[in-house]
Amino acid sequence: MNTRPDQAPAQGVEPIAPLREFVVAMTRLVERTDHEPALLAEGRELLAKLIARDDWLPEFCAQPDPQFYRQYLLHADPLERFSVVSFVWGPGQRTPVHDHTVWGLVGMLRGAELCQRWKREADGRLVPDGEQATLRPGEVDAVSPTVGDIHVVANGLPDRPSISIHVYGANIGALRRHVFDPETGASKDFVSGYSSDRVPNLWDRSAAVRGGAGAK
């Protein structure tokens, strides 16, 4: 837990509730539409609400690794229309230049992240696209083949872990996508997988139901 001072959890509600509410709302959204601009716009609002507080991420999904950044699956839609992960950055850790091939939303939960977009020129070269940006807690960034899909992300803190929450329009860990050599523009396939064989149990509402919170 890492509760911001003004954000005490509501009485009798289990800590994971905000993540469950996000997953339910995202599920209703993908049931309603597969239109990317709507998914990005409504998904951004839902994600902003989720990361407005930092008291719900289970500890086992917040553990950095000494060597590599980690991505813990928090939820996958069973029809693989979206997935939610926590990215945990140790000091000095960064991604290669990579793409996603699907829409994605990156919401900063804890610490800070440096993002540099890249784009492919007509002659095939990869060049930086704009300035490096810093993402701060509560802020959301978007990627997709339509809005710009290639970037590098790095921990923005030199001495502490940072954590961002990502939502993608697919089962991101099982997607064949690409890393790039920024010198040559050459691409190589990669499939990221996930850092844990377990995900949080979002569904144990028993304490609230026993306490009289109703059937749902």
Window contacting a second copy (CB under 8 A); options: 78-86, 89-97, 104-112, 122-130: 78-86
The whole-angstrom separation of Cα 150 and Cα 95 is 11
Residue 77 Cβ, how far from Mg ion at the closest point, in Å? Answer: 12
The one of Mg ion, a second copy, none whose footprint includes residue 186, by CB under 5 to 8 A per kind, is: none
**Interior CA angle at 3 toward 94 and 172, to 5°?**
40
Please, which residue, 5 or 214, has the CB nearer to a second copy?
Answer: 214
Residue of 92, 96, 130, 193 that binds a second copy (CB under 8 A):
193
Check binding of 80 to a second copy (CB under 8 A).
Answer: yes
Count of Cβ atoms closer than 10 Å to residue 7 Cβ: 12
Window contacting a second copy (CB under 8 A); options: 34-42, 46-54, 71-79, 134-142: 71-79
Residue 116 Cβ, how far from Mg ion at the closest point, in Å? Answer: 39
The whole-angstrom separation of Cα 215 and Cα 93 is 44
The whole-angstrom separation of Cα 15 and Cα 4 is 14
For residue 3 the two structure tokens come to 């509760």
Name the residues that contact Mg ion, by CB under 5 A.
Answer: 31
